[in-house]
Amino acid sequence: MAMEEETALVVGSSSPTHTLNHKRDIHVLSWAFLLIFLAYGAVQNLESTINTEGDLGTISLGILYVSFAVFSVVASLVVRNLGTKNALILGSTGYWLFIAANLVPTWYTMVPASLFLGFASSIIWVGQGTYLTSTAHSHANDHELHEGAVIGKFNGEFWGMFACHQLVGNLITLALLRDGKGGKTTGTTFLFVMFLCSSTIGSILMCFLSKRNDKEGELQDSSATFSSAVVSLLKTILALLLDIRILLVIPLLAYSGLQQAFVWAEYTKYLIKPTLGERGVGGAMAVYGVFDAICSVAAGRLTSGLSSITLIVSLGAFIQAIVLCLLLLNYSISGGLLGTLYLLLIGGMWGIGDGVLNTQLSAFLGILFKHDLEGAFAQLKLWQSISIAVVYFLSSYISFQTMVVIMLAALCISVAGFLFLTLQMEKVFSRRAS
C-alpha cells in the first residue's frame, strides 16, 4: 500500500515537469528564432538598397530562395536523420554565415553564403514546424487537452514572438544607420557585427532544447542504403503530391510566400523608399512587424479547429485583398503626415494577413498531416521558397502594377482552393461524428 502511494506520488509529480518542459521548449524555440531572425530579417530588408552594385543584393536573395526550394525536396530526409534539435542547430549556422558575408559583400562571399543558407533554411524550417507540432501533440496528450487548441496556442506564441523580429531588428537598423555624404549609408559594419552577436546567442539557445523522440540524432539502420533512403523519400513526396488535400492547399502555401516577398521587395522599394528614404524602410517594417506579432498571438489563441482556421484565414485574406485593390486602383494620399500614415497603415494591414497565414497554415498542416509532419512542412517551405524566388527574379522585369495584379489573382485562386478543402473536411468530420 505504501509502495502504491509512493508510486502515485511519483507519477503525479511528473505531470508538472512535463508541463514545464513542453512550455519551456516553446519559450526557448521562440526566443532563439527571434534573436536569429531579428538579425537576418533586417539584413534581408537592406539587401536591395545597400548591395546595389550589379544588383548583388537582389540576385543573392534570388539565389538563396532557389537553393531553399531545391533543398526543401530533401529537407524532410535530412531532418529525420539528424533529428529536429540537431537540424535546428545546424540550420541556424547558415544565417550567421550570410550576415558575416555582408561584412565583405562580393560575388565570392555572397553567392556561396546564399547557397548554404538555402540548405540551412530548408532544414531549420522543417525542423521548426515538426518540433513545435510534436511538442504540442505531446502536451495535449499528457494533459488530455484538445489538440487543435494546443497547436493553435503554441503556434500563436511562436509566430507572435517571431513577428517581433521585424520590430526589433528594424528599430536597431533605424537607430544605427545614418545617411552619409553622396547618398551613401554609414554604420553598416557596426550594425552587422551587432547582428552577428544576436545570431550567435540564438544558435546557442537552440542547444538547450529538449530532444523530442527516441530516434533523434540516430542515423538510419545500417541495412538501409543511400539509394533505398532516396527511394523512400521519393515515395513519400509522391504520396503527398497525390493527396488531394495537399494539392488543394498548395496554392495557399505558395501565396503565403508571395505575400512575404511582396512586402520585402515591392512595398519597401516602390512605396516606402521613394517617400521615406532608406532609413524609413526600417521604421515601416517595424510597424509591419508590430501588427504581424499582435495578429499572430491573437489568431493562435482563437484557433480551436478547422472551423476557426477557415474563418481566420478568410478574414486575413479579405484584409490583404483590400490592400491590393487600393494599390491596384492607385489610391494614394498626398505627401505629408497623412501620406506617411497611409503607407504605414498599408504595411500594418499586410502584417495582419501575414500573421494569420503563418499561424493558421502551421496549425492546419499540423492537424491534417500529423503522421507526416516533416513531409508536410517540407511542402510548405518548398512552395513558399519557389514563390519568393519568383518575386525576386521577376521584380526587375515587371511593373509594380503588374505584380499587384498577379498577387490579387493568386490570392483569389488560393483562397478558393482552401475553402473548398475545408468544406469537404468539415463534411467528413460531421459524418464521422454522426
The reported pLDDT for the residue numbered 54 is: 76
Q: Which long-range contacts (CB under 8 A, 24 or more apart) does 134-140 make?
A: 134/84, 134/212, 134/213, 134/373, 135/22, 135/25, 135/26, 135/212, 136/22, 136/366, 137/366, 137/370, 138/18, 138/22, 138/212, 139/18, 139/19, 139/22, 139/23
The pLDDT averaged over each successive group of 10 residues in the chain (434 residues) is: 40 43 92 95 81 79 89 86 93 96 91 95 92 90 84 89 87 77 68 94 95 54 54 67 87 94 84 76 84 91 87 95 91 72 91 93 87 82 88 83 94 96 81 65
- Residue entry with cell 454522426: 434
In DSSP terms, which residues pair with 179 in a beta bridge? 185
Alpha-carbon gap, residue 78 to 97, rounded angstroms: 20
Beta strand pairing status for 178-179 and 185-186?
A: antiparallel
Between the alpha carbon of residue 244 and those of residues 127, 253, 368, 401, the distances in Å are: 24, 14, 12, 33
- 184-218 exposure pattern, b = at least 16 Cβ within 10 A, e = fewer: ebeebeebbebbbebbbebbebbeebeebeeebee
pLDDT of residue 426: 80
Supply the pLDDT for residue 295.
Answer: 92
Q: What is the pLDDT of residue 166?
A: 81
pLDDT at 230 (0 to 100): 61
